Each structure stands twice: as structure tokens, then as C-alpha cells.
């Protein structure tokens, strides 16, 4: 559940920075016309895969969930850093 929330936070932050003209790093979603696809992908596809992985009992599935969680924690830290930099830049200007 935590990983899914971090995934949604990634989506919200990505949409927020794209709305002010900052580009997306993921080449699949750089074009603003792909935003609806990105939303469906992040909410349903990633969400479904995370749910499926969480239901598995194999050890490798648990390792995979931990890898996903750590990855999203790093992405969240990246977003928070970027949002703070944007806020500071707009405060200074």
C-alpha cells in the first residue's frame, strides 16, 4: 500500500511540474499528449502489478516489493528536492 501511495505521489508531482513547463524524464511520457495514458498507467497498470506482486508468496516477490519501495522512496526524495528548488527559485524572483 505504501508503495502504491508513493507511486501516486510520483504521478501528482510529475503532473504538477509538467504543468509549469518542466519536462518529464521518462521518455515514454515526455510528450504532454501522453498525460492521459500516464494517468491510466500509473493508477491501474502499476497499481495492479503492485497488488499482484503483494499477493505472491514467493521470496522473490517480496524482494521485488522491497526494490519497488526503495525505488519510489528515491523518486519521492527527488520530487521533494525538485519542488523545494522550484519554490525557492520562485521566492527569490
Say which residues have a Cβ less than 8 Å from residue 73's Cβ, sequence separation at least 6: 6
Please enumerate in sequence order all residues whose Cβ is within 8 A of that of 83, keeping only pairs 6 or more positions apart, or say none: 13, 16, 17
| pLDDT tens per residue across span 38-81 | 999 999 999 999 999 889 999 999 999 999 999 999 999 998 99
Spatial contact of 89 and 24, defined as CB atoms under 8 Å apart: no
Cα 34–38–44 angle (5° rounding)? 145
Domains: count for the chain: 1
Q: What is the domain extent for residue 72?
A: 2-92
**What Rg value do the Cα atoms of the chain yield, rounded?**
15
pLDDT of residue 51: 92
Amino acid at each position: 500500500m505504501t508503495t502504491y501511495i508513493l507511486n501516486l505521489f510520483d504521478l501528482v508531482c510529475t503532473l504538477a511540474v509538467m504543468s509549469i513547463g518542466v519536462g518529464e524524464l521518462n521518455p515514454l511520457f515526455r510528450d504532454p499528449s501522453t498525460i492521459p495514458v500516464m494517468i491510466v498507467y500509473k493508477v491501474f497498470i502499476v497499481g495492479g502489478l503492485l497488488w499482484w506482486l503483494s499477493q505472491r508468496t514467493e521470496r522473490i516477490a517480496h524482494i521485488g516489493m522491497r526494490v519497488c519501495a526503495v525505488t519510489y522512496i528515491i523518486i519521492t526524495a527527488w520530487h521533494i528536492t525538485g519542488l523545494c528548488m522550484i519554490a525557492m527559485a520562485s521566492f527569490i524572483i
